[in-house]
Amino acid sequence: MRLNQKNFAPLLPQYVVPMQGNWYNPTGAENNPAKPMTWCGFKFDNHRGVTLAHFIPDRAKPPTNWSVQEKISKLTLQFVGDIAEDLANDVGHWTHNQTVIAALAQFDGGIMGASDGAVSSIFDQEGANTILAWNAWALIGWADEVDSGQGQWPSGGVKFQPGPLVVQ
């Protein structure tokens, strides 16, 4: 499975949401008695390839070829609420967190590095009072895999057929 905002979000707890202005703000529901005391926004800053894409033939009949590229993605986290500072500091320990390890295994991934501390910033609640947020980051190594036998590349225009390569 490809590591991106869409695939990553469903694996997270209810109050871990994409970091974007038009998304649900868990502390913004004033009439919600069940609103969380702390929540987290996340975003991927980048996905950088650390190897060239290469083919790994599988043993299926008929054979299909998977194109694989190892990548490292930077995940930025912003914690807001009463235990935000502690949670941001905990990110440095994610290499030993079994919940994180299990979630990233679905992407053939793992933590490659994490922030060794937390950095504060101001979080503006869309005109309401501002509060202190705590920020951390993690580097996630993962395998970006595409089954080239399907002819479905992100660019949309490359199809592999048996025989000589013909450019139209």
Domain assignments of the chain as residue spans, ordered by start: 5-150
> 82-128, pLDDT tens digit by residue?
888 999 999 999 999 998 899 999 988 999 988 888 999 888 766 66
Number of residues written out for the chain: 168
Q: What percent of the chain has pLDDT over 70?
A: 68
Please write the tens of the pLDDT for every residue from 60-82. 666 566 788 999 999 999 998 88
Check residue 156 and give its pLDDT: 44
- The mean predicted confidence, pLDDT, of the chain is 79
Cβ neighbours, 10 Å, residue 78: 19
Residue 144, Cβ density class (10 Å: 0-12 exposed, 13-18 middle, ≥19 buried): buried
Sequence-distant (6+) residues with CB within 8 A of 96 are none
The answer, yes or no, to whether residue 50 has pLDDT greater than 80, is yes
Distance between CA atoms of residues 155 and 58, nearest Å: 23
Which of the pair, 52 or 63, is modelled with greater confidence? 52
